[in-house]
Structure formats: C-alpha cells, structure tokens
Structure 1
Amino acid sequence: MSITKLRKHGKSVVVTIPANEAKNLNLDVEYNVSTDEHGNISLIPKLENPFKHAKPGEYYEKDVWENMKPVGEEVW
C-alpha cells in the first residue's frame, strides 16, 4: 500500500496515484469518480453507450404478458 495526499488545483482536487499502484490502470480511459460517506474514492471506467449504434427496434422484445389474465389476487 502506498500513501498519497489530496491537493487543491484551481477548482479541482487532485490525487496522485503512485505508478506502482496504477500499473493495472488504463491511462487512455476516462473514469467516473464517486466518493462514499466514509471518504472512499472509487474510479469506475466510463463505458461507451451500448445503444449508441443500435438500429431502431433492435432491442425490442414482445410483451409476453399482454394477453395473460389475472388468476388470483395480483390485481387489486
């Protein structure tokens, strides 16, 4: 485990990740950053929108429930 500090840089806060800790990180990827209530910082690789190149209706699925009649107390 390595130690680092946060620094203020303009309107941003910068954290330097030591190279030995970043060896499995892709430097060409953008990351979504989030922090939790304990101060833990998560870097999550930003993914391309999977529907960006989809054709209209490509992910449509027929509603298999549309003709099903209720048989019990599921409808109030």
Structure 2
Amino acid sequence: AILSVLFDAMHVFWADCNDGRLPKSSTVAHAIDERLGLRAQASGEGSRTGQAYASAIRPDWVKDADNRHHSRRSAS
C-alpha cells in the first residue's frame, strides 16, 4: 500500500513539473500523510515519515539543483 501511495504522489507532483513549477516538499509530505493516515507534527509540518517519503521521491535533478542538499565528501 505504501509503494502505491508513493507512486501516486510521484505521478501527481512530479510528472509534469519543471524548473519554474516545483511542488513544495511540505505539500507532498501532507498529501502522503493524508493518504497513509499519518498525523502531522504539532507544529503543523508533515509527519517525519511523510517528510522522509517526500524527500525519497523527489527527483534527482531537483535534489542536484537544490542548495539545501549537499553531497557528502568521502575521506580519501
């Protein structure tokens, strides 16, 4: 059931997006929460689980362009 919800969210939020029209992660997290019956945090943010799922389905090209995400450097 979880995979079905995630695939649906991927289709709804990411299928037709472009650089000028990106969904907010919080919107995606709340939609996932609603479909899975998860409760938002007391602050009003999506559940931690919903946020994790939203991040997991965020396309790589968006993550690469997003300055909030930094790749870890391996120790050489």
Indicate the TM-score class for this superposition, using the shorter chain for normalisation: under 0.3
Structure with more strand by fraction:
1
Bigger relative contact order, structure 1 or 2 (CA pairs below 8 A, ≥6 apart)? 2
**TM-score scaled to structure 1, two decimals?**
0.23
